[in-house]
Chain A
Amino acid sequence: MQDDLKTEPLLKLGLDALHRELGGRMVPFAGYDMPVQYTEGVLKEHLATRTGAGLFDVSHMGQVLLKPKTSLADLCLGFEALVPADVLDLAVGRQRYGLFTDAAGGILDDLMFANRGDHLFVVVNAACKAQDIAHMKAHLSAVAEVVPVTDRALLALQGPGAEAVLEPLAPGAARLRFMDVAFLDWNDVELWVSRSGYTGEDGYEISLPQAKAEPFARALLAAGAAPIGLGARDSLRLEAGLCLYGHDIDRTTSPIEGNLAWAIPKCRRTGGERQGGFPGADRILREIAQGAPRLRVGLAPEGRAPMREGTELFLGSDLVGRITSGGFGPSAGRPIAMGYVPRALSAAGTRLEAELRGKRLPVTIAPLPFHPTTYKR
């Protein structure tokens, strides 16, 4: 049989066998074969994370070390030329959220970056990692060695029970506050731990050598963490009002349109000590000053019908926007969504209509997040 469809073979996670043993239903995601859910199903996995501790395998994400060639300050300033964030003043042991922007002011990817004393550690999205690494290599060659980390798994442990699960295994975890990073020890294995995640809950992200990932994951499960798939990861981040790259933000959306102005500090804005100097600064700083033409907002569908990505939003007969993420919020107990609308229609409480299966249904602009976050600040 002729194979005309040249589909890339799916990459397997290091914990593939464990996912299958735990009853994971595997689906393709960002080029990887990943568990979308385990035996409990999305709803129960979502709620287990909100009430206890959930274990997510996010090893598909890109981990990258940036090692300074001259000084860390030079590296930080170089990184600031790619990311509209305050990198220079990031304290040792701290992490921030940032965005790679392009010359037109669009978003190339969103990322986390941490100051680990003598270098930076960066975590980027799986679907963008090859492009991000090439981007960093192309622009940071004078100031940094860009070293992709390919031999370490990345696990997220999320929920109010996360600290009680991790502290006995890796003492020191409890001392960390939200967005702290540290090297912790588990049975002589070096864990790279950050107190962060993407569920709106307190919790950790833990990088460790792939060879040790399975026994460590089993230890977390034995300590009471529940395995959680991509389905619940998506509903958790949506309730927390967090963007999914490629859906809620991409090259066609600016950080200001994406309602991510909070990620751009004063020192990089007009009048700041290191104003501008990042790709797309003209547009982005103008939108900070004047407002963006459209904004990402929360949307609360009335009634019970979920409104999913791609659903069109109307004011009267005018098409005014589109949903970029949507579904049922298990903790909210109702359908929730995010999408883009003109700035004039972005105030909470504004009523629009969404077209669903040929019918117009009411939907109201809602404040984000849909579920309160519980970060340990």
Chain B
Amino acid sequence: MKYTQEHEWLRAESGNIVTVGITAHAATQLGDVVFVELPEVETMVSAGDEAVVIESVKAASDILAPVDGEIVAVNEKLVDNPGLVNEDATSAWFFKIKVDDLAVLDDFMDEDEYNDLIG
């Protein structure tokens, strides 16, 4: 598992696919999630693009595409049950993105580095 500065977790899958979610720390900071708007499958995104709108009881925020690629799957369960993000952030994935080369993940933090970040 890799982590971004924006508190996303990234999991490499076979077929050059990266699954993206938010960390438990981020879910706690956001508070109860009440709305999730997912990107459309087959959308091409660049790193830094807004991919997901997520609203908690407190505020709206975005989840950014961590890398360039094509959205190949989204977790529709979160649309009907946004609270899954708070229940178990590491299984509540948002989208899967197909990249050219999984080596793009090398630049991101590992678990120890992320834990240092959130201290």
Chain A residues close to B by CB (< 8 Å): 36-37, 41-44, 231, 235, 304-306, 308, 327-328, 330, 335, 357
Contact = CB atoms under 8 A, between A and B. Distances in A.
Nearest to B36: A304
A305 B55 contact: yes
Given A37-B31, A328-B35, A42 B55 contact: no
Contacts of A41: 31-32, 57, 86
27 contacts: A36-B58, A37-B31, A41-B31, A41-B32, A42-B31, A42-B58, A43-B32, A43-B34, A44-B32, A231-B31, A231-B57, A231-B58, A235-B57, A304-B34, A304-B35, A304-B79, A304-B82, A305-B35, A306-B35, A306-B55, A327-B57, A328-B34, A328-B55, A328-B57, A330-B57, A335-B35, A357-B53
Nearest to A333: B34
B37 interface: yes
Interface residues on B, range: 10 to 19
B60 interface: yes
Contacts of B82: 304
A230 to B, nearest CB: 10
Given A41-B31, A231-B31, A328-B34, A308 B57 contact: no
Contacts of B55: 305-306, 328
Interface in B48-106: 53, 55, 57-58, 60, 79, 82-83, 86
Contacts of A42: 31-32, 57-58
A42 B86 CA distance: 12
A203 B57 CA distance: 24
A156 B55 CA distance: 29
Contacts of A36: 58
A29 to B, nearest CB: 13
A316 to B, nearest CB: 25
Contacts of A231: 31, 57-58
Nearest to B58: A231
Nearest to A235: B57
B89 to A, nearest CB: 14
Nearest to A25: B31
B40 to A, nearest CB: 14
Nearest to B59: A308
A370 to B, nearest CB: 15
Q: Which 8 A-B pairs have the closest CB atoms?
A: A328-B34, A43-B32, A42-B57, A304-B35, A41-B32, A306-B55, A305-B35, A42-B32
Contacts of B37: 305
A334 to B, nearest CB: 9
A308 B55 CA distance: 11
Given A305-B37, A306-B34, A43 B57 contact: yes
Given A328-B34, A328-B57, A330-B57, 20 more contacts: A41-B32, A42-B32, A42-B57, A42-B58, A43-B32, A43-B57, A231-B57, A231-B58, A304-B34, A304-B35, A304-B79, A305-B35, A305-B55, A306-B34, A306-B35, A306-B60, A308-B60, A328-B35, A328-B55, A335-B34
Nearest to A36: B58
Contacts of B86: 41
Contacts of A37: 31
B28 to A, nearest CB: 9
**A42, A328, A330 pick with most chain B CB within 10 angstroms:** A328
Nearest to B79: A304
A44 B86 CA distance: 12
Nearest to A44: B32
A330 B83 CA distance: 12
B18 to A, nearest CB: 25
Contacts of B60: 306, 308
Nearest to A357: B53
Nearest to A39: B28
Interface string B19-47: 00000000000011011010000000000
A49 to B, nearest CB: 14
A44 B57 CA distance: 11
**B31, B55, B58, B86 pick with most chain A CB within 10 angstroms:** B58
Contacts of B34: 43, 304, 306, 328, 335
A327 B58 CA distance: 8
A118 B44 CA distance: 73
Contacts of A44: 32
